[in-house]
């Protein structure tokens, strides 16, 4: 149980095998910036102006050194009574330039906070909206912890990129261009010396960045794998403790955690040497320019003065610093692109398709006894079926479901249901029995179109369910899933989840029908008792009673009960069974239960084995045959 499985999520493939790489980084960056510009283009223009102003202010301050030395300080040293007035005025002008630069930098930072957080909010909203549209099979095939990692870790890497890396890169680019132009203007000879050192800095940065990038990608994916394992173990803590597998689960976690440590260590080992390397190369560049500048000033080459050398050295620092920052931010962007790749991979997952056009509407009978649509809630539902000739017909929702020659496989190459033929007439109770993995739950997943069939037809009131819109189809079904899930909120709110417009009285009536009213009233705040952590303060039986009440308040014509009483004690099961018998009266019901005594009164029992219906009939008929059902029933009684 504790061993890590490869299906848990993407991650490093082991020693000697290739590391994952970001595909189409340019396209990813374009898509990210598209998200930003779509909502915040005016803000970005203001930020760009602020960056330009701030960069030019810094350059102007460096250039002022030449004027300060050559035009003020040197002449003043030659005066018997120096006049500080012009120098003071010049310093005030430079001070004003500095203030403007600081204000521009402050405004830039404030706006980018708004742009970044707004963009991340929009991305999270898009992620959640798209996630809601994904088919059930996506969640069956992907670890939930890995999906959560997209919302947290991967989105956070984008925060760093948008708030820090990209503004810094833009600022660095503008600074580099403006400083380069200023350096050429001061001394093209010293500029050539500087550019030789810059070429060496860029070469080293590129080599280091290319080596660290693949490990940043692996780090993000390993982190998703660790989150998936933690989420699984949190959900299974009771099982872990019952079987005393704490050490085994810890070993599995350590294996995944060690892989994360290795990829993170390698990524950051390369990333952390970029700044020292580029900084030292920058210092060497500064020293070389100082020596060359001093020689040129002493030799009077190119009109070089002391002020020229000092101004150029200040510009040299201003030139080398953004190059070092570009090298550092490149790693942050690569890491963010690794997160963006996972974000957009989730957003690009195909949504659940729905070609249906038959809808479920409120209906009533007119004076000629014809079924017509109405906006009032009459308790009568009808299928609204538009036809190609422009006409529309209405068919009363009755709950007649028929399977004809149905085949199905979760993957195309493996069929798990073979030639399923069965029907449930309005008001009938159909029970599915069979060993684990026989296909009982799979059949119910086909009724509500969590999965679509490979071959054959399923008809609902004579209409092919592929023609019915999925939302309307599922609205007509009351479902009690095998795993009961309760949401954070009150008991009343959890019951009302079955039909959001239901009144308190209707919710209470549904609870009474499910025999849940008794225990609810004994809760500290009755129907207003707050439930958290999936209803952890309730017993398994109480949680299932609430799930049944939730299905009851929807008042559906068809019920799907997937092992609804499998985890309930005998006394609670009796309460549930009485409530369910009342709920199922007059409704088509498909029931799966481990305790075969609960399906004795079914109109038809279908026995499944390896995806095929091998027996069908009433309880008495199947017992008389002494086949598979007889074996299951007598064995079940013996176990009970």
Domain ranges of the chain: 24-186+325-352, 188-303, 359-396, 401-634
The CA distance from 252 to 35, in Å, is 39
Fold of 24-186+325-352: ABC transporter transmembrane region fold (1.20.1560)
Using DSSP's 3-state secondary structure scheme, residue 433 falls into strand
Cβ atoms of 150 and 224 closer than 8 Å: yes
pLDDT at position 166 is 86
DSSP per-residue string spanning 50-104? HHHHHHHHHHHHHHHHHHIIIIIIHHHHT-SS---HHHHHHHHHHHHHHHHHHHH
Please state the rounded mean pLDDT for residues 553-570. 74
Contact (CB, 8 A) for 201 and 281: yes
Check residue 239 and give its pLDDT.
Answer: 63
- List, in sequence order, the alpha helices (H) in 161-187: 166-186
Q: Max alpha carbon distance in the chain (Å)?
A: 128
User: Mean pLDDT over all residues of the chain?
Assistant: 83
Q: Quick one: average pLDDT of 408-429?
A: 91
- Please provide the distance, in angstroms rounded to a whole number, between the alpha carbons at the two ends of the chain: 29
| Exposure string for 527-554, b = 16+ CB within 10 A, e = fewer | bebebeeebeebeebbbbbbbbbbbbbb
- For the segment 83-103, the average pLDDT, to the nearest whole number, is 84
Structure tokens at 17: 């095998």
- Spatial contact of 347 and 127, defined as CB atoms under 8 Å apart: yes
The whole-number pLDDT of residue 566 equals: 53
> Count of CB atoms within 10 A of residue 102's CB?
12
Contact by Cβ (8 Å): 178, 63: no
33 CB burial (10 A radius; 0-12, 13-18, 19+): middle
Q: pLDDT category, 636, cuts 50, 70, 90? A: low
If residue 558 lies in a helix (H) or strand (E), which one and from where to where?
A: strand 558-562
584/563: higher pLDDT: 584
pLDDT per residue over 242-296, tens digit each? 566 778 888 888 888 888 888 888 777 776 777 777 777 778 888 888 888 888 8
Evaluate if pTM is beyond 0.75: no
As a whole number of angstroms, the distance between CA 345 and CA 23 comes to 11
Q: In whole angstroms, what is the distance from residue 204 CA to residue 69 CA?
A: 36
User: Residue 176, SS3?
Assistant: helix
Say how many residues make up the chain. Answer: 640
Instruction: Report residue 234's pLDDT band, with 50, 70 and 90 as the boundaries.
Output: confident
The alpha-carbon radius of gyration of the chain (Å, integer) is 36
The fold for domain 401-634 equals Rossmann fold (3.40.50)
CA 304 – CA 262 distance, rounded (Å): 53
Centre a 10 Å sphere on the Cβ of residue 232 and count the other Cβ atoms it contains. Answer: 18
Sign of dihedral through CA atoms 165, 167, 173, 178? negative
| Across 226-235, 250-259, 267-276, 547-556, least confident range | 267-276
- CA 461/CA 383 separation, integer angstroms: 9
Q: Residue 563 — very low, low, confident or very high, per pLDDT cuts 50/70/90?
A: low
The full DSSP string for 256-324 is HHHHHHHHHHHHHHHHHHHHHHHHHHHHHHHHHHHHHHHHHHHHTGGG--HHHHHHHHHHHHHHHHHHH
345 or 327, which is more confident? 345
């Amino acid at each position: 149980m504790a061993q890590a499985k490869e299906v848990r999520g993407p991650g490093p493939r082991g020693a000697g095998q290739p590391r994952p790489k970001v595909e189409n980084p340019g396209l990813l960056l374009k898509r990210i910036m598209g998200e930003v510009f779509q909502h915040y283009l005016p803000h970005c223009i203001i930020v760009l102006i602020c960056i330009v102003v701030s960069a030019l202010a810094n350059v102007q301050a460096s250039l002022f050194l030449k004027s300060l030395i050559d035009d003020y300080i040197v002449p003043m040293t030659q005066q018997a009574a120096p006049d500080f007035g012009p120098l003071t005025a010049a310093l005030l002008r430079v001070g004003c330039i500095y203030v403007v630069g600081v204000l521009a930098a402050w405004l830039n930072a404030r706006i980018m906070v708004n742009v970044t957080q707004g963009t991340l909010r929009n991305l999270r909203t898009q992620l959640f909206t798209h996630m809601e549209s994904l088919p059930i099979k996506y969640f069956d095939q992907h670890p939930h912890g890995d999906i959560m990692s997209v919302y947290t870790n991967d989105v956070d890497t984008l925060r760093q990129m948008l708030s820090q890396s990209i503004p810094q890169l833009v600022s660095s680019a503008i600074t580099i261009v403006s400083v380069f132009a200023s350096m050429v203007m001061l001394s093209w000879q010293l500029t050539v010396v500087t550019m030789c050192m810059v070429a060496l800095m860029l070469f080293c940065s590129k080599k280091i960045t290319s080596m660290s990038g693949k490990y940043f990608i692996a780090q993000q994916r390993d982190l998703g794998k660790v989150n998936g394992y933690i989420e699984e173990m949190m959900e299974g803590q009771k099982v872990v403790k019952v079987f005393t597998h704490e050490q085994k689960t810890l070993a599995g976690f350590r294996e995944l955690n060690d892989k994360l440590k290795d990829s993170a260590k390698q990524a950051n080992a390369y990333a952390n040497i970029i700044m020292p390397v580029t900084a030292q190369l920058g210092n060497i560049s500064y020293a070389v320019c100082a020596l060359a500048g001093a020689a040129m000033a002493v030799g009077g080459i190119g009109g070089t003065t002391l002020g020229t050398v000092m101004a150029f050295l200040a510009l040299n620092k201003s030139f080398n610093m953004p190059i070092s920052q570009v090298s550092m931010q490149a790693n942050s962007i690569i890491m963010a692109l690794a997160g963006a790749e996972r974000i957009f991979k989730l957003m690009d997952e195909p949504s659940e398709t729905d070609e249906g056009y038959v809808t479920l509407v409120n209906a009533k009978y007119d004076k000629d006894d014809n079924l017509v649509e109405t906006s009032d809630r009459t308790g009568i539902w009808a299928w609204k079926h538009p036809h190609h000739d422009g006409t529309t017909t209405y068919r009363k929702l009755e709950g007649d479901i028929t399977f004809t020659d149905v085949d199905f496989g979760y993957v195309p190459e493996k069929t798990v249901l073979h030639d399923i033929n069965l029907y449930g007439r309005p008001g009938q109770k159909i029970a599915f029995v069979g060993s684990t993995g026989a296909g009982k739950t799979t059949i119910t997943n086909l009724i509500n179109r969590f999965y679509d069939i490979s071959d054959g037809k399923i008809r609902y009131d004579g209409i092919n369910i592929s023609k019915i819109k999925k939302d309307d189809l599922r609205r007509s079904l009351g479902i009690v899933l095998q795993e009961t899930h309760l949401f954070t909120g009150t008991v009343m709110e959890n019951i009302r989840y079955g039909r959001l417009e239901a009144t308190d009285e209707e919710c209470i009536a549904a609870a009474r029908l499910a025999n849940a009213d008794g225990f609810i009233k004994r809760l500290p705040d009755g129907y207003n008792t707050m439930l958290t952590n999936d209803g952890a303060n309730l017993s398994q039986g109480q949680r299932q009673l609430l799930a049944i009440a939730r299905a009851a308040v929807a008042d559906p014509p068809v019920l799907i009960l997937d092992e609804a009483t499998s985890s309930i004690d005998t006394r609670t099961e009796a309460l549930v069974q009485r409530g369910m018998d009342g709920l199922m009266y007059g409704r088509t019901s498909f029931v799966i239960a481990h305790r075969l005594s609960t399906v004795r009164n079914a109109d038809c029992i279908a026995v499944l084995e390896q995806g095929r219906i091998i027996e069908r009939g009433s309880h008495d008929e199947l017992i008389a045959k002494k086949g598979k059902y007889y074996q299951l029933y007598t064995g079940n009684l013996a176990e009970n």
